[in-house]
Amino acid sequence: MSGPNTEYDPVEVTPLKADEVESMRDDALAAVAAASDLEELKAARTAHAGDRSPLALANREIGALPPQARKDAGKRVGQARGAVSKALAERTLVLEAEHEQRILVDEAVDVTLTLDRRPRGARHPLRTVEERVADIFVAMGWEVAEGPEVEAEWLNFDALNLGPDHPARTMLDTFWLSPASAARVLRTHTSPVQARTLLDREPPVFVVCPGRVFRTDELDATHTPVFRQVEGLAVGPGLSMAHLKGTLDHFARELFGPGVVTRFRPSYFPFTEPSAEVDFLCPVCGGDEPALSTCRTCRGEAWIEWGGCGVVNPRVLVACGVDPERNSGFAFGMGLDRSLMLMSGVADIRTMVDGDARFPMPFGWEI
Amino acid sequence: MRVPVSWLREHVALPDSLGVDELADRLTMLDLKLEEVDRVGGDVTGPLVVGRVLSAEPEEHSNGKTVNWCRVDVGPEHNEDQPDGGEPSRGIVCGAHNFGPGDLVVVSLPGTVLPGGFAIAARKTYGHVSDGMICSTRELDLGDDHDGILVLAPGSAEPGDDVPTLLGLREDVLDLEVNPDRAYALSIRGVARDAALGFDAAFTDPADLPVPDAAGPSWGVTVEAPEACPVFVARTVTGLDPSRATPSWMSRRLQLAGMRPISLAVDVTNYVMLELGQPIHGYDRDHLQGGIVVRHAAEGEKLTTLDGQVRTLSAGDLLICDDSGPIGLAGVMGGEHTELGTSTTSVVVEAAHFAPAGIARTARRHRLPSEASKRFERGVDPALPRYAAQRVVDLLVELGGATAEPGETVVGTVPAMPGIELDPVLPAAVTGIAVKGEDAADALRAVGCQVEGSGTDGLLGVVPPTWRPDLTDPYDLVEEVLRVVGYDRVPSVLPTAPSGRGLTRTQRLRRLAGKALAGDGLVETMSFPFLGPADLDLLGLPADDERRRLVLLENPLSAQEPGLVSTLLPGLLHAAARNVSRGLEQVALYETSPVFLGGQDAVAPVYGVDRRPTPEEVAALDAALPAQPLHLGVVLAGEREPAGWWGPARPVSWADAVETVREVGRLVGVDVVARTGALAPWHPGRCAELLVDGVVVGHAGELHPRVCRAFDLPARSAAAEVDLDAILAAAPAGARPDPYSVFPVAKEDVALVVDASVAAVDVAAALQAGGGELLESVRLFDVYTGAPVPEGQKSLAFALRLRAPDRTLSDDEITASREAAVAEAVRVTGAVQRT
Ligand SMILES: [Zn+2]
């Protein structure tokens, strides 16, 4: 590099002549524009904007000019280098985009290739129905109570006003543990959970009890010795059958749809008095002809049996230590298997229990 | 209860226009629920008419059979003129011989359809064209008698009369489901009473009949157990003509009601039971030895009942006895010796009232649910016996030609019905319907109660009618009021529950476990909880395995499965095999259900119900129950991942079973640790024992090859079974995590050669222990056997991550920690570091 030389005539320094600088700049711009890929652009950058490029060399000569000439030459060279740098940046963007575009095209795959690589699981719809029912009641402030499946005779029967000689006992076809004198049964309903709840806490009590129950029925299309039901119990001051109706109406609408119509029909259960069956009007045919007589959902009956219910018999309250003078209550129970069949059109109960993995699949994880 | 509608209409003045469906609907809304309307004879059509036999010519045929070629007058509408100038008639071939010219018979002419859809046409037979058929009782569905054709009583009909109308072949029968509290509805009388209530129609009580003043007792009766038998009425008839048949209207009604006609005397007792609801027993007086005694049995006494069975009696059984000993199980079944037979001419009629509880116990003990016991155990009207006995006597006199003896034995008196005090506001409070007190009183009167009080102020004094022993407390009365007022009037009011706590933590974790398993590609199944030794043998459980100690059922559905599941695996393995046999290549199933652990043989106490049991008493109930932990069972068979463009299928391995359980644990925050285990039904070298906090919670691994074969599962199927309750109980609540380090991590790999029998988990634990606090984690990333690793040894490669909470580690710290970790592994497991 040359040192400053005040005696030096700028006009005599060839590389800093205006036309020379322009020529260098034009060569550079032409080389940048001519670069067809990033490799060529890199070479053009080295040749025209690198440390040893003509413009860089010219820039170094500026310091050797007399002060009066430096400003002019500096401006000229600076502008030229700026133009080259800008062109390089612009060309880089263009070429990078082209490059990426090419790679992405090269990497294209057939996205229709099957992707069922991870095995698919499913929860049993009886489980999800059970949870759905629990959620409906939990949303109203109720709680979910549980109890054992092998139950003491006293809790399954006596405490529920089903004394040893009660004719309804023989109607509930009961599995007894051996020996029968040990007074232990497979619970025939989830009602003992209600009794346990009353023994366990003070009113007001609002609980639902979903669970598996057992009756000595042979398995066929509509009967099963093992099924699931949900029972509900509300005990507190001033509860009446109207509250039962309101609760079941809400429950039915949440489960089966907003238009569902229910009705009470007289019935008998030892643990409730008055007792009722709750039916709902067939949502498929609406109970109206001509669809009614050929309806497969209600089998032409218009009303579909859903479950049993009633006002808690004061004797049950007494056996569980609740003062029937200060409290009243209502209870209900319905089969979850049956509810699921009504919701989904499953016609044969056996398909729900034979363990075929294809059965739960269409239901998803929530119902 | 099967109720022929024409019989019902005899006692309640229902409008003629009332259809059977409307009748059934109304009864259903009065708590007499229709099971079905049996339209008996609904399929009978065509010319089924009465015929008079004009001539019957026996013709012997080459097959040795003699048939009658008959001319039968079937009335002007159906007769055909005879070319030979004979009486207009039809010609019919008949193989029976129990009739002759002049008899009235039933003729099914061509075009008739008989019960069961049996279509009649003219046909050529035995050289004649037979214009239909002369019918037997069985062909008309009137009974089982096929020996001959049905001959109608002389003068009872005219040729050409419509037989379905004449014999009641078409009848709608209501099959009603009678709830245990409505014993009165196990009779035409009771159903008619409710039908009258439902349609505001006049009711004619069939028990309202005159009982003449008695001239002394009829038969000696001593009741030694008046609580069990408060009323006993005996009447006697003599001179019964044993040749008299039951009239067709009566046998038809019995048959429609579901009972088999037997003989006139027996049929009359059954008829009166159906009509009034009072079970009747008739004794052949000639076989009675001395007076009747009603007493409880001595333990071990014997009685041969009507069905021919010798019964060994218990002290609780109530007996009817004579001088010879027991002659009947009171209210349940009579004895063989005094049974009414084909030669009986004198009958002692018993109409008694027996207390429900004893009858129920006896019927249950001897497995003898009879028509009588069914009524007594629900409660029969105690005021009925005298009237029912009178009805039987009247019918035997009228139909059997018998003579009523003037005496009547009545032991005991009809117990008074206990009164009930009813707060007149209770019906409104319980039902939510604004029922006024006076309306409640009217409703109770309508169902037969005597009601004192206006209902506007003060309590109502209510005495239920004798046929309603089920009405014992105010709530029972409320139900009657509601029945009359109408269940459809109950308003719908949603109650406000107090703010709840939502699901419990365990409930939430259980849901999460289910979702974790489904998310892991497993499908939930629900098996029955029954198990037997055959499946335990298939699992290869040794004789002393505690899972062989089943909780046994007294009355299992199948003798092959006498107990409750002690393990979920048999049900899952069978389900998996079913899926495999149906062509599924990837089978991954799980079940969460309780298992029942045997060995708990305590007796559960049975308490009274007049008070709450004490906490100690409730605890005693629980203590008598077997342990019922919630288990998770898993079975994996075939492929865990299918083949695809990404590569070959990945078959199920032992590790998938272990991983499935560990994954559930991870999702609920529980570290499930695997150790070398050995338990059937797993492969002895591929069984992991799973632990939580050092306690074994279950096992997982590859199934024993023999077990795979026994259950028809693919080789190398895997399974797991764990105590889910135990895993969820260990889930940490309210975790308080340590602050995590933001300083750089140092990664170091070490390879250790150990004996093949050393568990990798032990080596990892030793590394962790030796590495100290700086060693953040240890992960096994490779296992290698083969040269240069010596025979019988394996090389385990671990990735160590080291980090300090407060600084970047220096190279010296990293080296020191790694070397300490390796040194501890060497010390504990005999490992040699590979370099
Ligand atoms: Zn329908």
Q: For residue A82, what are its two tokens? A: 């700026």
How far is Cα B479 from Cα B30, in angstroms, rounded to an integer? 11
Task: Say what the alpha-carbon torsion angle B535, B538, B542, B543 is, to the nearest 10 degrees.
Answer: 50
Q: Are B227 and B355 contacting, i.e. CB atoms less than 8 angstroms apart?
A: yes
Task: Write down how long chain A is.
Answer: 367
β strands within B414-468, DSSP E: 420-422, 450-452, 460-463
Q: What is the mean pLDDT of residues B774-792?
A: 93
Neighbours of A107 (CB within 10 A): 7
> According to the model, what pLDDT value does residue B537 have?
97
Does residue A180 contact residue A231 with C-beta atoms inside 8 Å?
A: no
Please list all protein residues whose beta carbon sits less than 5 angstroms from ligand 1, which is an ion.
A 282, 284-285, 295, 297-298
Q: From CA A247, how far away is CA A249, in angstroms rounded? A: 5
Pinpoint the alpha helices (H) of chain A.
18-34, 38-49, 54-61, 67-106, 125-138, 153-156, 167-171, 191-200, 241-256, 314-319, 336-344
Sign of CA dihedral B240, B245, B249, B250: positive
Residues 689-748 of B with CB under 8 A from A: none
pLDDT digits (tens, 9 = 90+) for B808-823: 999 999 999 999 999 9
Contact between chains at A355 and B625 (C-beta distance less than 8 A)? no
What residue type is A129 in one-letter code? V
- Candidates B431, B470, B549, B597: best to mutate against A (most CBs of A within 10 A) is B431
ipTM comes to: 0.85
Residue A2 contacts residue A47 (beta carbons within 8 Å): no
Give the C-alpha separation, B706 to B683, whole Å.
Answer: 9
Q: Is A303 on the interface with B (CB under 8 A)?
A: no
Q: How far is the CA of A301 from the centre of ligand 1 (A)?
A: 7
Q: First vs last Cα of chain A: how many Å apart? A: 84
Using the beta-carbon criterion (under 8 Å), do B475 and A152 form an inter-chain contact?
no
Angle at B70 between CA B69 and CA B72, to 5 degrees: 160
CA–centroid distance, B26 to ligand 1, in Å, is: 20
CA distance B474 to B469: 13
Tell me whether A242 touches chain B (CB under 8 Å). Answer: yes
Query: Would you state the structure tokens that stand for residue B397, as one six-digit string?
Result: 């006199």
Handedness of CA A259, A264, A265, A268 (dihedral sign): positive
For the beta carbon of residue B40, count every other beta carbon within 10 angstroms: 20
CB count within 10 Å of CB A49 equals 18
The C-alpha atoms of residue B118 and residue B453 are separated, in whole angstroms, by 63
The partner residue sitting opposite B31, judged by closest CB among A266, A356, A360, is A266
- In the chain, the amino acid numbered B512 is L
Report which of B582, B665, B514 is spatially closest to residue A122, judged by C-alpha positions. Answer: B514
Where do the H-state alpha helices sit in B323-425? 356-365, 371-376, 385-400
Tell me if chain B has a CB within 8 Å of the CB of A252.
no
For residue range B292-312, list pLDDT tens digits in order. 999 999 999 999 888 888 999
* Omega of the bond leading into A225 within 30 degrees of 0 (cis): no
Q: What band does B265 get if pLDDT is binned at 50, 70 and 90?
A: very high
Q: Residues 6 or more apart from B368 whose CB is under 8 A from it?
A: B305, B329, B332, B333, B362
CA distance B145 to chain A (A): 35
Q: Can you tell me the distance from the alpha carbon of B96 to that of B828, in angstroms, rounded to the nearest whole number?
A: 102
Instruction: Assess A151–B contact: CB distance below 8 Å, yes or no.
Output: yes
pLDDT averaged over 10-residue windows placed end to end, chain A, 367 residues: 49 70 91 92 91 87 81 87 93 93 89 80 95 96 96 94 77 86 94 94 95 92 91 96 97 92 93 94 87 86 92 94 94 93 86 90 84
- pLDDT value for A10: 47
pLDDT digits (tens, 9 = 90+) for B536-570: 999 999 999 999 999 999 999 999 999 999 999 99
According to the model, what pLDDT value does residue B432 have? 96
What is the Cα–Cα distance from A121 to A119, expressed in whole angstroms? 7
Rounded distance between C-alpha atoms, residue B642 and residue A114, angstroms = 11
- Sign of the CA dihedral B723, B728, B729, B731? positive
- Per-residue pLDDT at A14: 65
The identity of residue A277, as a single letter, is: E
- The sign one gets for the Cα dihedral B221, B227, B228, B233 is positive
Task: Tell me the C-alpha distance between A352 and A338, whole Å.
Answer: 11
- Percentage with pLDDT > 90 across chain B: 78
Residue A362 touches chain B, beta carbons under 8 Å: no
Cβ atoms of B225 and B298 closer than 8 Å: no
The per-residue pLDDT for range B127-175, each reduced to its tens digit, is 888 998 999 888 888 876 666 888 888 888 899 999 988 888 889 999 9
Q: What is the pTM of this model?
A: 0.84
Would you say the C-alpha torsion B764, B766, B769, B773 has a positive or negative sign? negative
Give the model confidence (pLDDT) of B406-457 as tens digits.
999 999 999 999 999 999 999 999 999 999 999 999 999 999 999 999 888 8
Higher pLDDT pick, A69 / B207: B207
Contact residues on chain A for B611, CB-CB shorter than 8 A:
318-319, 321
| Candidates A158, A234, A357; nearest CB to B523 | A357
Cross-chain CB nearest to B429 (options A150, A240, A321): A240
Count how many pairs of residues, chain A against chain B, have C-beta atoms within 8 Å. 306
Residue A10 burial by Cβ neighbours in a 10 Å radius (0-12, 13-18, 19+): middle
As a whole number of angstroms, the longest Cα–Cα distance in chain B is 137
Query: CB-based contacts of B782: which residues, under 8 Å, 6+ apart?
Result: B751, B795, B796, B797
* Inter-chain CB proximity B628 and A150 less than 8 Å: yes
Instruction: Supply angle C-alpha A300, A305, A308, rounded to 5.
Output: 165
User: What is the predicted pLDDT for the residue at A1?
Assistant: 43
B564 close to B553: Cβ distance less than 8 angstroms = yes
Which sign does the torsion angle of CA A117, B519, A350, A128 carry? negative
How far is it, in rounded angstroms, from Cα B542 to Cα B522? 30
For residue B113, give how far its alpha carbon lies from the nearest alpha carbon of chain A (Å).
Answer: 26
Cβ–Cβ below 8 Å for B432 and A274 = no
Q: Does B226 touch chain A (CB under 8 A)?
A: no
Q: How far apart are CA B46 and CA B23, in angstroms?
A: 28
| Continuous segment of H or E residues that includes residue B770 | helix B760-771
